[in-house]
A and B are shown apart, each in its own frame.
Chain A
Amino acid sequence: MVAEQTSNDQTISCVELTKIYSGKRESKALDSVSFSIPSNGIFVLIGRNGSGKTTLVRILSTELEPTSGEVFINGIDVKNESDKLRERIAIVPQEARAIPWMTPAQTVLSYLLWRGFSYGEAKRRALETLGKLGLGRHANSLNRTLSGGNKRKVLVATVLASEAEIIFLDEPTTGLDPISRREFWSLLKEIGQRRFTFLTTHYLEEAEELGDRIGVLDRGRLVGLGTLDELRQRVNYNYSMKLSRGVPLPHVTRGEVVEGRDGTRVLTTEEEAFAISRELSRGGYKFTINPISLDDIFFYLANRGADQVGN
């Protein structure tokens, strides 16, 4: 499959993208990943730890060379035109930290200087951005004195203050408390309205809340891609029942049973779900029943070893 790209393309396209880390033990982080998504709104890539999310982001953001395959962003060849692409992208990597001996203003200012802005313009944009993100009062405090959420905001402010059209955020909310995370979502939604945001996370509710499109990566393979509705349609069931450990598994005629460490999950139809719930209620067993969520879709696609998207 050969990708033909023009500078008018507003897509991110990967063709048979593979990354093998060589070393004492060779490991395949990405396995022939192919997809094409429009480069607007927010794209959220979900997957377990080690599924290849960070590897994919690092390749797209020109930090890492793929072993094979082709990647294009808005018609720019990521492998061979990395300098051209770097003019248009910005990233906050996983585990990035605001330097503790600097202030938010200094952090944003210096990043803009690295992007080649003049000192005056960089300073103006830095203060303007920090003000818009509610960090104006902390602009001259040391980063080490800020809360965890504000430290993350400082990092996002660096890329937001830049002229980049495409922003990569690798697990930006990991480690934040639930309230800070939700505050952060408002910020990310705003960013996504104006610039294409490629976000990775292992919080499924985050993907559900933010993603205009969602990709599911499992063991280096893309097993799901689409809007939340499109992903729901792939599962074929509309209800999810969660049974605690020890609850006897009822007879399921139409559905999918997924065994997990915390119990059993039954994905099934509405009719079957109510039949099972009546049976379990008679036995006095505890269970939950809910419309299918991204969490269920993720378990379904990942545990089923679904066929890779795009191949």
Chain B
Amino acid sequence: MGTRAEEEEEEAGGSLEEKIEISPLHVRKRSMLSQILAGILVNSVYEMRNYPIVLVNTVLSPLSFLLLITFVSRGALLGEAVEGGLIMSMFSAGMSLQADLSHLKNDFKLQDMVVSSPTPWFSYVTGIAVSEIVYSLPALVVLGILAAYFVHTTEFGVVELLLVLFLMFLTSIALGYTFATLSSDIVQSFAFSRLLSTLFSTIPPVYYPITYIPLPFRYLAYLSPTTYAAELAQNATGYLSLQRFMILFDWVVLIGVTAVLLGIATKKARWREA
């Protein structure tokens, strides 16, 4: 333990008298994994570690709809609701990405600091995107346990479900990143985030089968990629029986939408302002 005098000197910045150079400057091989890890730490791990209350929120958010649907259907739609919770968690990741990128850029100028460093845009965005999954982990673990108990399917069905969830994640981060480049402040960003969440994960039949929606409105639901994801997930786990043509069509739409959105996001990536 240092003496009071040493502490005072440190507080007053007395050690500045010494050489401030930290270590010899040298060029090293830079690690992309470190760059991705930085995004994960800043945007999820540190926040969860320093403010544990956010953990409660991340669990409750997808569970709230699940409980509502389960109670209203008297338990009949529990399996669909669990799958819906998983899809919504993956989709919410992209919506959060949009708000978080905008928040870090506009309120803390973090992106400006990172742009003027050896970090490529891909590492930065990937790190923040993965951090959204880490942030959703508490909810995903709870939903995963519920799925293991209440959703019965084959091994192929599990693989199919995981693939759907992964595509949903890619779709949402592409959408989130594109909108993040459009928003210039946090209020605008949260407005986009809420709008997209409502349009793509609340209105479409994510928590229940599409057959519950009356016909004219059903066509509107097909405007959302989450509808195709839910159909495929429900088909993979036996809650919905789709014709082979419809399964193929749903996969084509889901993969196509994901590819197009990723293409737009890559093209719109504005790492340096014009």
- Residues on A lying within 8 angstroms of B by beta carbon are 58, 61-65, 82-83, 86-87, 89-99, 101-103, 106, 109-111, 113-119, 122, 125, 128-129, 131-134, 136-137, 142, 158-165, 168, 183, 186-187, 190-191, 194
| Interface segment out of the listed B22-30, B153-161, B185-193, B234-242 | B22-30
Q: Is the CB of B15 within 8 A of A65?
A: no
**Contact of A114 with B117 in the complex, beta carbons under 8 Å:** yes
Are A106 and B108 in contact, CB atoms less than 8 angstroms apart? Answer: no
Which of the residues B23, B113, B114 comes within 8 Å of A128, measured between beta carbons? B23
B202-215 interface code vs A (CB 8 A; 1 in, 0 out): 00000000000000
Looking at A114, A117, A125, the one whose CB has the most chain B CB atoms below 10 A away is A114
Interface string of B17-54 (1 = CB under 8 A from A): 01011110111111110110111011000110011000
Question: CA A115 – CA B118 in complex, angstroms?
Answer: 6
Chain B residues closer than 8 Å to A64, beta-carbon distance? 272-273
CB pair B272–A62 under 8 Å, yes or no, is yes
Q: Whole-angstrom distance from the CB of B219 to the nearest CB of chain A? A: 39
Interface string of B106-145 (1 = CB under 8 A from A): 0111101111111100011000000000000000000000
Q: Say which residue of A95, A119, A134 sits within 8 Å of B10 (CB atoms).
A: A134
**A63 near B115: Cβ-Cβ < 8 Å:** yes
Whether the pair B15, A132 counts as a contact (CB closer than 8 A) is yes
Complex CA gap A61/B114 in Å reads 11
Bound together, the chains give a CA A163 to CA B22 distance in angstroms of 9
Contact in complex: B113, A111 (CB < 8 Å) = yes
- By a CB distance below 8 angstroms, the chain A residues around B119 are 86, 114-116
Given contacts A119-B34, A137-B11, contact A160 B108 (CB under 8 A): no
Residues in chain B near residue A114, CB distance under 8 A: 34-35, 38-39, 114, 117, 119, 123-124
Residues B42 and A163 in contact, CB atoms below 8 Å apart:
no
Cβ-closest chain A residue relative to B20? A190
Residue of B37, B51, B104 near A119 (CB, 8 A) is B37
Pairwise interchain contact B112-A190, C-beta atoms closer than 8 A: no
Check A163/B27 contact, CB under 8 A, given A86-B118, A122-B34, A168-B116: yes
Q: How far is the CA of A126 from the CA of B21 in the complex (A)?
A: 12
CB pair B113 A97 closer than 8 Å? no
Give the chain B neighbours of A99 by CB distance below 8 A.
42, 104, 108, 110
B38 in contact with A113 (CB, 8 Å): yes
Any chain A CB within 8 A of the CB of B75? no
- State whether B118 touches A186 (Cβ < 8 A): no
Shortest CB-to-CB span from B24 to chain A, Å, is 9
On chain A, the residues within 8 Å of B37 by CB distance are 113, 119
| Contact call A93/B113, Cβ cutoff below 8 A | yes
Q: Which residues of A contact B216 (CB under 8 A)?
A: none
- Residue from B28, B108, B113 with most neighbouring chain A CB atoms (10 Å): B113
Tell me, rounded to whole Å, the shortest Cβ–Cβ distance linking B210 to chain A.
40
